[in-house]
Chain A
Amino acid sequence: MQDPRLRLTSTLLLSAAAFASLSGAALVFAWWLVFSKRSESLPGIKPGIVLVVTILVVGLFTTLTGGDGLSYILRMGVVVLIASWALSEYRDGDGIDTAVWALGTKNGFDLGLTGELAILSMRRMYIEYATARKAILMKGTGTTITFQQHIRILSMLLVREFYASPLQAAVLARRGYSGGAMVCPGFCKGPTDRIATITALFVFLGMLAIS
């Protein structure tokens, strides 16, 4: 889906429908089968395992405390599928374009810029984390990375981001940014964008009708 406005709308509608009930989750899963690129929109193996394990643990805990753990696992599984699809379709500039379109060049620009910088920072941290894991093994103190070392790497990355953020802010200020800016957002639509969003709306309304 190319239009980020329709993608955001679809994501919100589908996430709400999937989380609200099992039947809603089933409808959303069907939507995902039809409109997503399926395997291409799935998270990577390692992030996928982390997500699945997290959902399973919470589901198990829910069951043990008297709740419907299975339902939680199925509903959250579909929510994660939709989130992963939305992330895989994201393109640089989508956030700022959508925010400016929705909220204008003052608040919208500020919100969009914050979002874009956050996504950029997360991507950078992901790459740095992968490199640091390799570099640690080169110290010759072991062939695997301990849990403590993982925590250290992630902590170091966070600290470095905190150190970098005032510099980034100073560069923006130096360039004349003091809040809000002019952006002319441009959107293009894929052939199935409208039908996918309309279907997502019907899925949401269907979920409301069923429940």
Chain B
Amino acid sequence: MEVCRVEIILDGVTYSRGSFSLQATGRFTRGLHLISGPVGSGKSTLSQLIVGLLPPQQGTVCLPENARSTLSFQFPEHHITGWTVGEEIESWGHNKEAICSEDERIPPLQTAVSDLSRGEMKRLHLACLLAKDWDVIILDEPFASLDCREKTRLCRRLESLQETAIVLIFTHEQVHLPRVSYLWEMDGGILSCCGPVPEGISSWHNPPVHIREALSRQVLPKNITVNDTLEALCRIPD
């Protein structure tokens, strides 16, 4: 897999719809970027603005044309075009046997996609999406509908992309999080950068409970996972 040499630049991007308005400025380099924020804070809108599915009303989104970019929508059914699991895998241009051999939890190839639960559909969708080579991967609520085991597996898979792509994870997930490079927050439609990890953790305004607990004890974890936090809290001071 070739190394990505692109960055995403948002320069004074604004977007309004009804009473909602969004403002975003920032630079996303290679690595994992976590963009957290409550429901309705504008995460999905920003993800579509970055990938070019929505035009900004002001400002520019710079995403080099030769970058292979994708966006995973929150609801996997929006991506589905195959009647069966096998057809759906092929619709991504994949070899269905190859995908199944990589992930043993994918349902039998003849299974009708409409018979899958949303969680199964999400797992199938993410397996197909992450099996391709991308320079820019934008994931809108990738942990939604997944069980704990799948969330953990997804975290490890995303961490393996640290060196090869710009990965933007838009989520309100509070527990199962991957080790990331940068932290961002969306609040009331405004994007703000907390900074690189670990320094940026202390600037996180609405961190998950485990991070908040660590910060309240003046402890800064190495990263944002529960394990990192536990390790930091249990660390014996020098």
Contact = CB atoms under 8 A, between A and B. Distances in A.
A140 B70 contact: yes
Contacts of B91: 139, 141
B57 interface: no
Interface string B75-109: 00111111000000001110000000000000000
Nearest to A131: B78
A128 interface: yes
B78 A149 contact: no
Nearest to A155: B83
| Size category of the binding interface on chain B | 20 to 34
Contact of A139 (B48, B53, B79, B114): B79
Nearest to A135: B78
B72 interface: yes
Question: In terms of DSSP, what is the predominant structure of the interface of chain A?
Answer: helix
Contacts of B70: 138-140
Interface string A146-173: 0001001100100110010000000000
Contacts of A159: 114
A138 B114 contact: no
Interface of A: 128, 131-132, 134-141, 149, 152-153, 156, 159-160, 163
Interface of B: 48, 51, 53, 68, 70-73, 77-82, 91-93, 114, 128, 132, 134
Given A141-B93, A149-B81, A156-B80, 15 more contacts: A128-B78, A134-B48, A134-B53, A134-B73, A134-B78, A135-B78, A137-B53, A138-B51, A138-B71, A139-B79, A139-B91, A139-B93, A140-B92, A153-B81, A156-B77
